[in-house]
Amino acid sequence: MLTLYHGDSSVCSSKVRIGLAEKGIEWESRPINLPKGEQNDPAYLKLNPNGVVPTLVDGDLVVVESSVILEYVDELRPENPLMPTETAAKTIARIWLTRCIDIHAAINTMTFSTVNRQRTLATKTPEQIEASIAKMANPATASKRRDVMKHGLASVHVDAAFFTLWRMFDDMQTALAGSEWLLGDDYSIADTAILSYVDRLDRLGFAGLWTDRTPLVGRWFDASKARPSYSAISDYIDAGGAEKMREEGLNIWPEVESKWNAFLAAHTA
Ligand SMILES: N[C@@H](CCC(=O)N[C@@H](CS)C(=O)NCC(=O)O)C(=O)O
């Protein structure tokens, strides 16, 4: 039996849970409470030295990186294949999977520079904030978190996130212009990989990032949510928490929107 170490609201974890649901593979759950910092426990760090979720364990094999885990679970069983068989489509799928590292970083930035930052600043002292950042295993991630907490939407990481999201939405719009899913008329691993990231932006109340400029992203998002595997996200998020996140995000949205529009004006002139 596969064992998945995962966080309820973690986008990288839900991405893997969606893949497992699409494949119909049973798995054993090892929840990691991210707000409590369980990802930094020494025993967990032995499995995932970056102190992040998800981690999949299959016997002696430890698999990290959500996109690699997705490919692994897809290859475990021939049923419901997510990876296309044709070489060009397979290559494009792998490009989407590789881009997920940057896409996750962008989603993390959009979450922590807005709603999570406001919540943290409202409930923790600067010393408490620094103490929890200092526990982060990866110094690069810790340094980014410090910057985002300090500068919010003015952080340089927000420009980097906008660049990644701009490219992602435009490429999705192009891919979806002639087909229902990202790689054609069949649902694939690329769709599985991207859904939880778009879903987080929607839950933050930031759907305005795509509704006007790249509306096919919205069509794709609705179709993705209609699949039974979407419960791998929705079942793990409590309704009260979701409502609060959207409300808080929508309060910040005008500021996000104005920065996004300025970014687009500078990049699409
Ligand atoms: N590229 C990694 C990113 C993993 C990652 O950063 N996961 C987040 C949750 S989505 C995490 O565990 N964060 C822990 C922390 O920020 O301390 C993957 O896709 O697996």
CA–centroid distance, residue 110 to ligand 1 (Å): 14
For the chain, domains (ranges, CATH) are 2-76 (3.40.30.10), 87-267 (1.20.1050.10)
Cα(157)–Cα(145) distance, rounded to whole angstroms?
10
Binding-site residues, ligand 1, Cβ < 6 A: 7, 10-12, 34, 39, 51-54, 65-66, 101, 104, 136
Q: What is the pLDDT along the chain (269 residues), one digit of tens a residue?
A: 999 999 999 999 999 999 999 999 999 999 999 999 999 999 999 999 999 999 999 999 999 999 999 999 999 999 999 999 999 999 999 999 999 999 999 999 999 999 999 999 999 999 999 999 999 999 999 999 999 999 999 999 999 999 999 999 999 999 999 999 999 999 999 999 999 999 999 999 999 999 999 999 999 999 999 999 999 999 999 999 999 999 999 999 999 999 999 999 999 87
Closest Cα to residue 41, out of 57, 59, 58, 55? Answer: 55
What pTM does this model have? Answer: 0.97
CA–centroid distance, residue 53 to ligand 1 (Å): 5
Half-sphere exposure of 263 (CA within 13 A, CB side): 21
CA–centroid distance, residue 59 to ligand 1 (Å): 23
Best residue for ligand 1 mutational test, from 4, 12, 204 (most atoms within 8 Å of Cβ): 12
Q: Which residues pair with 31 in a beta bridge?
A: 6
> Which numbered atom of ligand 1 lies nearest the CA of 7?
9
CA end-to-end span of the chain: 53
CA–centroid distance, residue 47 to ligand 1 (Å): 14
Alpha-carbon distance values, 105 to 100, 112, 136 (Å): 8, 10, 15
CA–centroid distance, residue 176 to ligand 1 (Å): 28
User: Cα-atom radius of gyration of the chain, to the nearest Å?
Assistant: 18
